[in-house]
Structure 1
Amino acid sequence: MKRPIKDQPQVSSRISRRALIMGAAQFGMVGVLGWRMRSMQVEHADLYRNLAEENRVNLRLIAPSRGLIYDRAGVPLAVNEQVYRINIVPEEAGDIDDTLRRLTDLVEIPEEDIARTREECERQKMRGAAFVPVTIVERVAWDDVARVTVNAPALPGISAEVGLSRLYPQGADSAHVVGYVGPVSDYDLRNIPDPDPLLEIPRFQIGKTGVEAKFEEMLRGEAGTKQLEVNAAGRVMRELGREEGVPGADLQLTIDTRLQRYTEARLEGESAAVVVIDLESGDLRAVASAPTFDPNLFVRGISVADWTGLNENIYRPLSAKTVQGAYPPGSTFKMVVALAALEAGVVSPDETVYCPGYTEVGGTRFHCWKSWGHGNVDMHRSLQESCDCYYYEIGQRVGIDRIAAMARKLGVGIRHDVPMSAESVGIAPDRAWKRERYDEDWRIGDTVNASIGQGYVLATPLQLAVMCARVATGRDIRPRLVQSVNGIPEPSGAGESLGLNENFLRRVRAGMHDVSNNPHGTGYGSRTLLDEAILAGKSGTSQVRRITPEERARGVTSNEDLPWERRDHALWVNFAPYDKPRFAVACVVEHGGGGSSVAAPIARDVTLQALYDGPPPLEAYPSNQRGRIAELQSRIAGQTARAAAQRSDRA
């Protein structure tokens, strides 16, 4: 039906309003779009330009060259060697199991490496990093690299490349000091706050023990980057550019490799530790634990058999006994008690104490090592002949708190700033320590035991060497293991005066002199004869078992008749030369028996080697020992030559 003419103006008016509303809405939408486009193109142009670049360019880290480690003479202790490795990129490999099977048809790869590769590929996929290469095996021969390269079309995702890996040229000689590196583990990542992105690179090596671990960040350096053009799937198309990283810092240690090598050889067959300190600078010239191990085994991936052999050895070759082993210091602690008593004024150097072979305190007998006693003993003779009863008496007079204070002043019971793993603090016990540790009061019997370095007292071989060094010099000698970083010298450890009475120190040193040089001295059998090499020492034998009254009544069982783990520890400390000290040495032989018979000869030989910077003249030894010493020197020289040849062959 045709609309009446009178209604047409009304309809036109309605259409005009609708058109106006729709036009306004369209104009508003265009305005909003224009404003947004202006905002994106002008105000936020840099942001979106960067996002576009990120979609096209992928940045990857380049591992820096790890810093090198040298000894004091520049002999390399830890270096980097170029190695060939075979990698796999999980996302490009397709069926990883099939690809690995085809690879093993060409190259012999241990099954444990194949299993580890599967796990790491799965881990990379779960983390959304399937495009990051995973190392299957390294240190492969050139022939294997050639076979992989020739067969590349049949091995998707597999590639061979040249990389750097750690090498320890001296092998086992400085293993406990330098430590070793190994691949980053999940445990490492969990325990490192804010880990460096470098650590996410599969099989990236970091320090695990020793100097390698303590200076990890400094040795690691800073990562470089390379720009890779990638497609939408993240696959690499080409490299657009790179910026090399900053190599790690080079370290020079205070260790003397020749002396360290001799010391390790001299300790062969023992579970033992020796520390040698240069008294002029505090430099640690040798820090040897026996038995030792080859750190290269860990870098290359230690086998189950090798790990089991090291881990189950009762001599604990993986333990750095020089800093981790805490032992009752035995009679080597008597210098501490003597100086504490002299400084406190509770005894004079010439005062005598009667030794009948035992001292009775609170109804308990504390025996002297010499069962029939020493008779009247002054301080000099108490050191020379190591009388226990003398120290039972003066220890009670001076009290444990002053003994502990002197022990810490001389370096026992404190942690020294040495970059080695798991350093023990030892124990210089006092009343407060026992109350805190055991919630018990200190007893007089505790003091009696502590006065001869037994009971709660514990010290590391490093602490015993520092103690001897401070007695020898009267200075606050600080052990130094790092000589320089990138050629910049580290502070000397020479130290300032301890503030002890020099006359008292002379009395103690004189007693130590006669330990080694008086026929009645406990260390007379390990004396030296040349004036420029006269030793001053102190023996120690510390019990690891309790001797019952019943055993003492029937006769104490000798160490030779006991199982190895129940025998006494043998200890010895000395400095030399007596009139102008240059070196202090501490030796601990676990379950070795007598300090004078076992530890003293080792320390004497190492001290002479340090003094003469090589084999000493036979005239330095008593005439009846020269034949044996000549044989010993010849054997060690032969061992050293064979070890050097083996290192050369491996290189």
Structure 2
Amino acid sequence: MQKDGDRSKVFTRRVVLLAGGKALLVTLLGARMYYLQVMEAEKYRTLAEENRINMRLIPPPRGRIVDRFGIPVAVNRQNFRALVVAERTRDLEQTLRTFAGLVPLTDYDHQRVLKESKRRRSFVPVTVRENLTWEQMAMVQVNAPDLPGVIIDEGLTRDYPYADLASHILGYVAAVSEDDMDGDDPLLQLPDFRIGKAGIEKVYDLPLRGKSGASQVEVNAVGRMIRELRREEGEPGHEVQLTIDMRLQDYASRRLGTDSAACVVMDVHTGEVLAMASMPAYDPNAFARGLSTKEWKALAGNPRAPLRNKALAGQYAPGSTFKMAVALAAMESGIVGPEQTFYCPGHLTLGNHRFHCWKRWGHGHLNMVGAIEQSCDVYFYEVARRIGIGRIADMARRLGLGADLDLELPGEASGLIPTKAWKSATLGQPWVQGETLVASIGQGYVLATPLQLAVMTARIANDGLAVRPTLCRQRVADGRLITEPTPSFDSVGVSKQAMAVVKHAMWRVVNGDRGTARGSAIDVDGQTMAGKTGTSQVRRISMRERETGVRKNEDLPWKFRDHALFVGFAPAEAPRYAVSVIVEHAGGGSRFAAPIAHDVMLETLRLDPSRRRTPDELAAIREAPPPTAAERRRRAEAKAAAAAALAEATAETAAEAAEGSPGQGGNGQ
């Protein structure tokens, strides 16, 4: 009996322990269920929704770029793409072969589609061809029964209506690279998204890009889209307005033709760049669609450098266009006055070295105006010997040479204005006086860009206002566009009397009886042009060559010929526009650069871009379509004929130049 009681106690104890354990487990299970279903309900509800609902980005339309009158120069056009869904076709290779019979498809694209279809899920579309024409798209649609799995997708792609006419200004867009992934913008993750890679497209990329939209879609367990639940459109990119007049840009580009050349036109009072042409150029549409290897090699290997913006990044010896800076430095120093004369026998001897004038037998006695008009080298050798390189360098910098001008484009070159300190620090050698003489005619170490030469000319024309060039009427601040107020400029610190002497001398260059550019004079209702020619050597003429005869430019290989330059402003009576032109390896500035400047300035005065327009005039300008390829060819032929006629008119000037011999390190004209 005692034994049964003990057994009962053990059984009871075990039952209690087992029941307690079960109760504890139930309590723990209940607590866990409460925690998961109540405390963590929101978290798991979200996870469940995310497994069922995906958010997809919608790229916004890229903002337009327009010229000063609202003419679109970078827009978005409809883009048709052919996609293929592998699971909807029994034989992908056969489908691609059929597609290639309707729309050209390279072997590379054929293999790419096969590889991508194997790498992706079978229901994910793969791009077969982009940028289909309307006819190609229609052909694919008509033959849809023979193209199982092929679908047409419609989107937007960047388009440049004027092709190469403003490519160095606008730049281009291209696919996002790994180096561009530093930002936190989710748009950069989209496989077909494109961003600005050069020019205005790059500098103003953020405001042009806009903000993405979002699409909420329902998907199944493997990610297949079932239906779209909600859609929010993005914010289109902002419109960027340039100071460029596209009509003048078109004219200047076509007037330069096939030459390796650059031209800049700017407003002398506001600094607005009205045209900046660099030829040859490239078609930014090719970059937007994707360059082939062959196309890239053709551009990169072209000796005339179509990818380089020569107006901004090209650095050249300014030649005789630099003589205005030397003249102003002389007058401001008080050492040489405008009426002081020097005798030019055709050369100047310094030590045991002879520095030549471009005119072999010399110009005789000349004052400052006559020396600029006839571009006498010996006169400026004498001036430079008296005032020194320090004063010349200081004046050149005040006129905008030798430093960045902070234009709203990447790749700007700063040029070079040499000094004694610069040579000592850079080359470790002392400055010699002969280098001052060479610098006085814009040769030796002196380098300038066509943009800097236009700025120098503008600062002379406006009596010394330190205008700075600008290409855009807005600036970027925190990714937003802010309209710039009308700028005010300080003075360069040169007297108006000195500026008047130089401006009169520049007027004589174009309109005087002995002016080096007299064949390029203009007269539009009493409005004339003032300017200065320049010819810069790219090779040194040896003494032996001088004794046996200097080889003519046309007898030299292209890369050894002189650069032709011209700078000018008009109307000379009330300056408004400045122009600079350089033609690489062409020859004399009076023969090759001045006629181009003549034509461009005539067109500038005709268009008068700075004049305020009425709403009706603006509407008429904006409605004019871009020139067709045939129209561009016709214009180019007309400009070539006009240039040939003007070249004949300057034959007398060219003959006079042929009588002389280039100066030491430079050609005066």
TM-score relative to the length of structure 2: 0.83
Taking the aligned partners of 1:30 and 1:353, their CA distance within structure 2 comes to: 114
In structure 1, the partner of 2:73 is 77
The change in CA–CA distance for 1:639 and 1:86 in structure 2 (over 3 A counts) is closer
Please identify, of 44-53 and 520-529, the stretch whose mean Cα deviation from structure 2 is larger. Answer: 44-53
Q: Give the match's secondary structure for 2:327.
A: helix
Taking the aligned partners of 1:373 and 1:298, their CA distance within structure 2 comes to: 53
In structure 2, the partner of 1:269 is 258
**Letter paired with 1:265:** R
Residue 309 of structure 1 deviates from its aligned partner by 4.0
In structure 2, the partner of 1:404 is 393
Taking the aligned partners of 1:82 and 1:395, their CA distance within structure 2 comes to: 61
Q: Residue 180 of structure 1: which of 152, 169, 172 is its match?
A: 172
Q: Residue 556 of structure 2: which of 549, 554, 562 is its match?
A: 562
Taking the aligned partners of 1:269 and 1:639, their CA distance within structure 2 comes to: 16
Taking the aligned partners of 1:286 and 1:360, their CA distance within structure 2 comes to: 43
- What aligned pairs does 1:83-162 form with structure 2 within 5 A after superposition? 83-88=79-84, 100-101=96-97, 103-104=99-100, 107-117=103-113, 131=124, 134=127, 136-140=129-133, 141-147=136-142, 149-150=144-145, 154-155=148-149, 158-162=150-154
Taking the aligned partners of 1:245 and 1:641, their CA distance within structure 2 comes to: 41
Taking the aligned partners of 2:629 and 2:432, their CA distance within structure 1 comes to: 52
TM-score relative to the length of structure 1: 0.85
In structure 2, the partner of 1:203 is 192
In structure 2, the partner of 1:596 is 590
Q: Residue 289 of structure 1: which of 259, 278, 298 is its match?
A: 278
Please identify, of 201-210 and 464-473, the stretch whose mean Cα deviation from structure 2 is larger. Answer: 201-210
CA contact (8 A) 1:283 1:481 kept: yes
CA contact (8 A) 1:476 1:494 kept: no
Taking the aligned partners of 1:131 and 1:424, their CA distance within structure 2 comes to: 48
Taking the aligned partners of 2:332 and 2:326, their CA distance within structure 1 comes to: 10
**Letter paired with 1:345:** G
In structure 1, the partner of 2:449 is 460
In structure 2, the partner of 1:49 is 45
Q: Give the match's secondary structure for 2:379.
A: helix
CA contact (8 A) 2:123 2:224 kept: no
Over the matched positions of the two proteins, sequence identity in percent amounts to 46
Q: Residue 503 of structure 1: which of 494, 497, 500 is its match?
A: 497
Taking the aligned partners of 2:182 and 2:192, their CA distance within structure 1 comes to: 19
**Letter paired with 2:588:** G
The change in CA–CA distance for 1:248 and 1:92 in structure 2 (over 3 A counts) is farther
CA contact (8 A) 2:244 2:273 kept: yes
The change in CA–CA distance for 1:637 and 1:365 in structure 2 (over 3 A counts) is farther
Taking the aligned partners of 1:428 and 1:132, their CA distance within structure 2 comes to: 59
Q: Give the match's secondary structure for 1:208.
A: strand
The change in CA–CA distance for 1:401 and 1:95 in structure 2 (over 3 A counts) is farther
The change in CA–CA distance for 1:40 and 1:444 in structure 2 (over 3 A counts) is farther
Taking the aligned partners of 1:80 and 1:163, their CA distance within structure 2 comes to: 9
Q: Deviations 1:356-413 (Å, cap 9, x if unpaired)? A: 3333445433322223333343322221122223333333444434433322221222
- What aligned pairs does 1:308-387 form with structure 2 within 5 A after superposition? 308-361=297-350, 363-387=352-376
Taking the aligned partners of 1:420 and 1:579, their CA distance within structure 2 comes to: 33
CA contact (8 A) 2:254 2:635 kept: no
In structure 2, the partner of 1:250 is 239
The change in CA–CA distance for 1:463 and 1:89 in structure 2 (over 3 A counts) is farther
Where does structure 1 lack aligned partners over 5 or more consecutive residues? 615-635, 645-651
Where does structure 2 lack aligned partners over 5 or more consecutive residues? 609-627, 637-669
Residue 195 of structure 1 deviates from its aligned partner by 5.6
CA contact (8 A) 2:85 2:122 kept: no
**Letter paired with 1:481:** L
Residue 497 of structure 1 deviates from its aligned partner by 2.8
CA contact (8 A) 1:120 1:134 kept: no
Please identify, of 352-361 and 419-428, the stretch whose mean Cα deviation from structure 2 is larger. Answer: 352-361
CA contact (8 A) 1:148 1:160 kept: no
Taking the aligned partners of 1:397 and 1:118, their CA distance within structure 2 comes to: 77
In structure 2, the partner of 1:163 is 155
Q: Give the match's secondary structure for 1:176.
A: helix
Q: Give the match's secondary structure for 1:314.
A: coil
CA contact (8 A) 1:121 1:134 kept: no
CA contact (8 A) 1:279 1:494 kept: no
Residue 431 of structure 1 deviates from its aligned partner by 3.7
Taking the aligned partners of 1:392 and 1:451, their CA distance within structure 2 comes to: 6
Taking the aligned partners of 2:106 and 2:354, their CA distance within structure 1 comes to: 63
Is structure 2 residue 571 aligned with structure 1 residue 577?
yes
Residue 20 of structure 1 deviates from its aligned partner by 5.3
Q: Residue 483 of structure 1: which of 462, 473, 483 is its match?
A: 473
**Letter paired with 1:482:** C
CA contact (8 A) 2:98 2:146 kept: no
CA contact (8 A) 1:89 1:134 kept: no
Q: Residue 392 of structure 1: which of 359, 381, 388 is its match?
A: 381
**Letter paired with 1:78:** A
Taking the aligned partners of 1:146 and 1:409, their CA distance within structure 2 comes to: 65
Residue 435 of structure 1 deviates from its aligned partner by 4.3
The change in CA–CA distance for 1:94 and 1:482 in structure 2 (over 3 A counts) is farther
Give the aligned CA root-mean-square deviation in angstroms: 3.3
Taking the aligned partners of 1:569 and 1:198, their CA distance within structure 2 comes to: 46
Residue 307 of structure 1 deviates from its aligned partner by 4.1
CA contact (8 A) 1:564 1:591 kept: yes
Residue 162 of structure 1 deviates from its aligned partner by 1.1
The change in CA–CA distance for 1:98 and 1:417 in structure 2 (over 3 A counts) is farther
Q: Give the match's secondary structure for 1:533.
A: coil
The change in CA–CA distance for 1:44 and 1:482 in structure 2 (over 3 A counts) is same
**Letter paired with 2:110:** I
- Which one scores higher on RCO, CA 8 angstroms, separation ≥ 6? 2
Please identify, of 20-29 and 586-595, the stretch whose mean Cα deviation from structure 2 is larger. Answer: 20-29
Taking the aligned partners of 1:439 and 1:91, their CA distance within structure 2 comes to: 72
Taking the aligned partners of 1:345 and 1:146, their CA distance within structure 2 comes to: 81
In structure 1, the partner of 2:614 is none
CA contact (8 A) 1:183 1:206 kept: yes
Q: Give the match's secondary structure for 1:482.
A: coil
**Letter paired with 1:54:** E
Residue 239 of structure 1 deviates from its aligned partner by 1.1
Q: Give the match's secondary structure for 2:444.
A: coil
CA contact (8 A) 1:78 1:168 kept: yes
**Letter paired with 1:369:** W
Residue 325 of structure 1 deviates from its aligned partner by 1.2
The change in CA–CA distance for 1:91 and 1:31 in structure 2 (over 3 A counts) is farther
Taking the aligned partners of 2:368 and 2:122, their CA distance within structure 1 comes to: 72
In structure 2, the partner of 1:609 is 603
CA contact (8 A) 2:102 2:140 kept: no
Q: Residue 417 of structure 2: which of 411, 428, 432 is its match?
A: 428
CA contact (8 A) 1:476 1:498 kept: yes
Q: Give the match's secondary structure for 1:414.
A: coil
Q: Deviations 1:280-322 (Å, cap 9, x if unpaired)? A: 3222111112223333333334455544444443322332211
In structure 2, the partner of 1:64 is 60
In structure 2, the partner of 1:619 is none
